């Protein structure tokens, strides 16, 4: 397992390096394209320091003035918390506004010394008077910049009542659905672990009756209703207001069909400032390839592993946990059915789960969440590595019938950082969109859905769709854009959207294709690429001409190993090697630094694209 950890660290470093290079090149290309587009036009007044523009929003005004000042080299970054305790109001307002915009409309502010953080006591100590004054200043500043502030928790140690601490959530009020923050959560687990039931309770605001009432609304196909098993990549959403209150769809007329559900989604997005998108994946072994595609192709930010309290961590739960660890996605665990599980069986499940999470292969610190403060702190620290290299893993003991810990799960989801805060999503770059699903909508035409991985797009933009079976890219135009079934005028990096394309027939589009902007350098598809891989499990040996199914983002295609750079000429479980792959069916659009995962029966190979070959 030490070898696996070091290999994952190498993959992460290589991916970050390639990502930095790609971002720099993309930004240069984007800047050159913008300059060419506006060549000969009047000078943009928002960059003119002699005649600054007059933004309509107080946030934009403060940020534009702040951006005009050149940052000093080797300057110590100023924290909002420090300005709240001691600083001038103008500087606080400008700094809070820029922090909100960098955080895409959300920031969590912690004040005081937190004694029970995973890394020990953190934060500067404050008195009761200082904390009250800081909170008053924060509320006044948020009123000026049209943001809402919510107190998540406030406490003090029993032995030090004059050293309070707390956490506050600040959110901007979105002007439209385009500005709504999004978090993508993949829900995995074994059959009958309670995935769909838990999602139904979380998103509907009503408890289950113990007979499957909560999960029926999540099924997409008739055979799923008949068998009671999810077999496709389903989805639900949970909206939160600017004050962190959950927004539930109206339960009236749900039996009338999909039309009522569509209206509910649209209403949620218009009222919400943050939306959690759940990707409900199949738990049966027969549909493992669908689950694997959802974990790699839908670009989830977090994985929620469901473990049945009466069954424990068995079957496909271990497989799903292993894939999430290999893809390096932050993990949270929900132990379900706590109301019906005998205490001794539940204790065995918790003991087994703790042992697996603490094992050298996982290196997770389980935190059993029992109150709101723990839920908020776990959301803040979930993606941060601890000093020993491990990460925390929140564990929720829930019951969908009694409602135990359901509110804490919602609080945790409300505080998770947005998808767009990830460094891999760059807005000021040429547009790139990864297609994970294709539809044919009556009176609309071909519609593709997926995640915008770079840049931004507007309605009526000219783009390229490809690669097709010959490796070519077809010119097309974006007719309309929808986010969570609500129509929007634009979308940017990090958002999952559906796009209607002009002059494209349904057979011309498939999963794994991309939409890219028209640039001076045309996109190229490839049949071969080189990757650095590690065999996680294989029953015998892997040699040249070995064929397996490759998952690389939304790409899912069989590949053949052309050559191995290994002294023995073959690789076994635990071996690492440089491998040249060749797609069997048609060329694909791959980039250096992308994660790859090979599967064939129980074989699993993890790797990264190191070079795209001509």
> Do 500 and 447 contact (CB within 8 A), yes or no?
yes
Q: Which run of H or of E encompasses 317?
A: helix 316-326
Find the range with the poorest average confidence among 50-64, 131-145, 275-289, 548-562. 50-64
Q: Are residues 201 and 141 in the same domain?
A: no
Query: How far apart, in whole angstroms, are the C-alpha atoms of residue 359 and residue 13?
Result: 24
Domain assignment present for 37? no
| Number of other residues whose CB lies within 10 A of the CB of residue 401 | 17
pTM for the whole structure: 0.87
Q: Are residues 103 and 152 in the same domain?
A: yes
Which has the closest alpha carbon to 468: 502, 519, 515, 518?
Answer: 515
Find the range with the poorest average confidence among 130-139, 190-199, 488-497, 524-533. 190-199
Domain assignment present for 44? no
Residue that is last in its domain, among 172, 195, 229: 172
Residue that is last in its domain, among 368, 386, 421: 421
Domain assignment present for 38? no
> Do 319 and 537 contact (CB within 8 A), yes or no?
no
pLDDT: which is higher, 72 or 510: 510
CATH number of domain containing 349: 3.40.50.300
> Do 464 and 515 contact (CB within 8 A), yes or no?
yes
Q: Are residues 274 and 143 in the same domain?
A: no
Q: Are residues 243 and 372 in the same domain?
A: yes
Q: 252 has which bridge partners? A: none
Which has the closest alpha carbon to 302: 383, 216, 375, 361?
Answer: 383
**Domain total of the chain:** 4
Q: Are residues 445 and 401 in the same domain?
A: no
Q: Are residues 163 and 254 in the same domain?
A: no
The angle at the Cα of 280, spanning 244 to 11, to the nearest 5 degrees, equals 90
- Domain assignment of residue 161, given as a range: 55-172
- For residues 169-183, give the mean pLDDT: 92
Q: Are residues 208 and 222 in the same domain?
A: yes
**Residue 352 pLDDT exceeds 90:** yes
pLDDT score for 505: 95
Q: Are residues 317 and 453 in the same domain?
A: no
Domain assignment present for 478? yes
Q: Are residues 265 and 351 in the same domain?
A: yes
CATH number of domain containing 485: 2.40.30.10
**Each residue's pLDDT tens digit, 31-80:** 666 666 555 444 443 344 333 433 444 454 434 434 433 343 334 456 78
Tokens of 247: 């927004």
> Do 22 and 14 contact (CB within 8 A), yes or no?
no
Confidence of residue 264 (pLDDT cuts 50, 70, 90): low
Residue that is last in its domain, among 122, 145, 172: 172
Q: Which run of H or of E encompasses 101?
A: helix 89-102
* Whole-number percent of the chain with pLDDT over 70: 82
Q: Are residues 284 and 396 in the same domain?
A: yes
Which has the closest alpha carbon to 561: 537, 581, 542, 576?
Answer: 581
Confidence of residue 30 (pLDDT cuts 50, 70, 90): low
Distances, alpha carbon 531 to alpha carbons 22, 353, 541, 546, 547, in Å? 18, 34, 18, 15, 15
Which letter does DSSP use for residue 417 in this model?
P
Query: How far apart, in whole angstroms, are the C-alpha atoms of residue 13 and residue 443?
Result: 47
**What is the chain's length?**
614
**Residue 181 pLDDT exceeds 60:** yes
b/e per residue, 136-159, with b = 16+ CB within 10 A?
ebbeebbeebebbbbebbeebbee
Q: Are residues 72 and 112 in the same domain?
A: yes
Domain assignment present for 387? yes
Q: Are residues 417 and 446 in the same domain?
A: no
């Amino acid at each position: 397992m030490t070898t696996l950890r070091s290999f994952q660290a190498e993959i992460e470093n290589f991916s970050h390096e390639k990502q930095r290079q790609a971002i720099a090149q993309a930004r240069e290309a984007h800047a050159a394209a913008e300059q060419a587009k506006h060549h000969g036009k009047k000078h943009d007044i928002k960059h003119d320091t002699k005649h600054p523009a007059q933004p309509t929003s107080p946030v934009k005004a403060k940020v534009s003035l702040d951006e005009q000042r050149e940052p000093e080299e080797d300057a110590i970054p100023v924290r909002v918390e420090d300005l709240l305790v001691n600083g001038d109001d103008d500087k606080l307002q400008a700094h809070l506004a820029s922090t909100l915009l960098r955080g895409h409309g959300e920031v969590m502010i912690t004040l005081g010394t937190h004694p029970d953080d995973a890394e020990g006591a953190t934060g500067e100590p404050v008195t009761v008077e200082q904390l009250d004054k800081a909170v008053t200043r924060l509320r006044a500043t948020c009123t000026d910049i049209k943001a809402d502030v919510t107190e998540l928790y406030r406490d003090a140690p029993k032995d030090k009542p004059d050293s309070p601490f707390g956490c506050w959530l600040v959110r901007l009020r979105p002007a439209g659905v385009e500005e709504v923050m999004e978090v993508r959560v993949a829900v995995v687990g074994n059959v009958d672990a309670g995935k769909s039931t838990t999602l139904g309770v979380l998103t509907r605001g009503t408890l289950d009756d113990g007979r499957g009432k909560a999960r029926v609304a999540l099924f997409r196909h008739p055979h799923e209703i008949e068998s009671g098993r999810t077999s496709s990549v389903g989805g639900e959403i949970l909206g939160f207001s600017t004050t962190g209150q959950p927004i539930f769809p109206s339960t009236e007329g749900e039996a009338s069909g999909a039309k009522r559900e569509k209206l509910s989604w649209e209403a949620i997005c218009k009222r919400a400032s943050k939306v959690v998108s759940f990707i409900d994946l199949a738990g049966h072994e027969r549909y493992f390839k669908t689950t694997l595609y959802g974990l790699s192709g839908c670009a989830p930010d977090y994985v929620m592993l469901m473990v049945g309290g009466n069954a424990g961590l068995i079957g496909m739960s271990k497989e799903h946990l292993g894939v999430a660890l290999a893809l390096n996605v932050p993990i949270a665990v929900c132990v379900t059915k706590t109301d019906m599980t005998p205490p001794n069986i539940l204790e065995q499940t918790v003991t087994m789960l703790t042992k697996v999470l603490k094992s050298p292969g996982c290196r997770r610190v389980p935190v059993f969440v029992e109150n709101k403060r723990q839920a908020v702190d776990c959301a803040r620290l979930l993606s941060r590595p601890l000093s020993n290299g491990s990460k925390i893993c929140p564990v929720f003991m829930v019951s969908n019938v009694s409602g135990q810990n359901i509110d804490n799960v919602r609080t945790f989801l409300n505080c998770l950082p947005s998808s767009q805060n990830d460094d891999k999503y760059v807005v000021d770059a040429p547009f790139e969109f990864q297609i994970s699903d294709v539809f044919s909508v009556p009176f609309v035409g071909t519609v593709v859905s997926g995640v915008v991985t770079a840049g931004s797009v507007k309605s009526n933009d000219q783009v390229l769709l490809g690669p097709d079976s010959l490796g070519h890219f077809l010119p097309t135009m974006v007719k309309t854009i929808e986010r969570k079934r609500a129509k929007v005028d634009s979308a940017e990096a990090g958002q999952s959207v559906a796009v209607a394309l002009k002059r494209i027939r349904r057979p011309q589009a498939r999963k794994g294709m991309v939409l890219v902007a028209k640039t001076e350098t045309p996109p190229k598809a490839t049949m071969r690429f080189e990757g650095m891989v590690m065999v996680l499990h294989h029953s015998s040996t892997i040699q040249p001409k070995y064929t397996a199914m490759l998952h690389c983002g939304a790409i899912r295609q069989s590949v053949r190993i052309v050559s191995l750079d290994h002294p023995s000429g073959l690789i076994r479980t635990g071996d690492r090697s440089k491998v040249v792959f060749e797609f069997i069916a048609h060329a694909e659009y791959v980039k250096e630094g992308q994660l790859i995962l090979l599967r064939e029966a129980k074989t699993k190979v993890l790797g990264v694209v190191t070079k795209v070959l001509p």
